């Protein structure tokens, strides 16, 4: 599937994989994020940290009529305030998608899949 944007110059189709990769890249740059987790945690078993090329496994992009909704599955760092980290991820993903792709996400839903201790 893809997101369709209509501009004064014509129509633009953006793949969900592109949106997921941009959103995942923006999320892992935030302070307090260890990495992205798989959205199929029950199937995959132990929560694993996804690499950059697999961000699409941790992000769901949904289009309902004219609205775009993004669900993100993340792993946070131990000792950080989870609500602040989630809010920062939401803000950064919305900003990055708007500036990079020109897409205004109506909602960015954060699902914390785990907490990990990171090495200093």
Q: What is the pLDDT of residues 64-105, one digit of tens each?
A: 888 889 999 988 999 899 999 999 999 999 999 999 988 888
**Domain residues of the chain, as ranges?**
2-116
Total length of the chain: 120
Q: Which two tokens stand for residue 82?
A: 């989870």
Please give the Cα distance from 47 to 51 (Å, whole number). 13
Q: Is the pLDDT of residue 29 over 60?
A: yes
Tokens of 48: 């694993």
pTM of the predicted protein model: 0.81
The CATH number of 2-116 is: 3.30.70.1350
pLDDT, tens digit, 9 for 90 and up, residues 102-120: 888 899 999 998 888 866 5
* Phi, psi for residue 87 in degrees, rounded to 5: -65, -40
């Amino acid at each position: 599937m893809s997101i369709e944007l209509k501009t004064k110059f014509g129509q633009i189709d953006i793949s969900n994989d592109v949106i997921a990769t941009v959103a995942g890249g923006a999320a892992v740059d935030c302070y307090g994020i260890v990495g992205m987790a798989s959205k199929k945690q029950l199937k995959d078993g132990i929560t694993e940290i996804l690499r950059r090329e697999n961000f699409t496994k941790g992000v769901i992009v949904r289009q309902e009529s004219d609205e775009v909704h993004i669900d993100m599955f993340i792993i946070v760092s131990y000792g950080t305030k989870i609500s602040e980290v989630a809010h920062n991820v939401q803000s950064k993903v919305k900003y990055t998608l708007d500036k990079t792709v020109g897409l205004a996400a109506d909602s960015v839903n954060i699902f914390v899949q785990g907490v990990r201790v990171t090495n200093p």
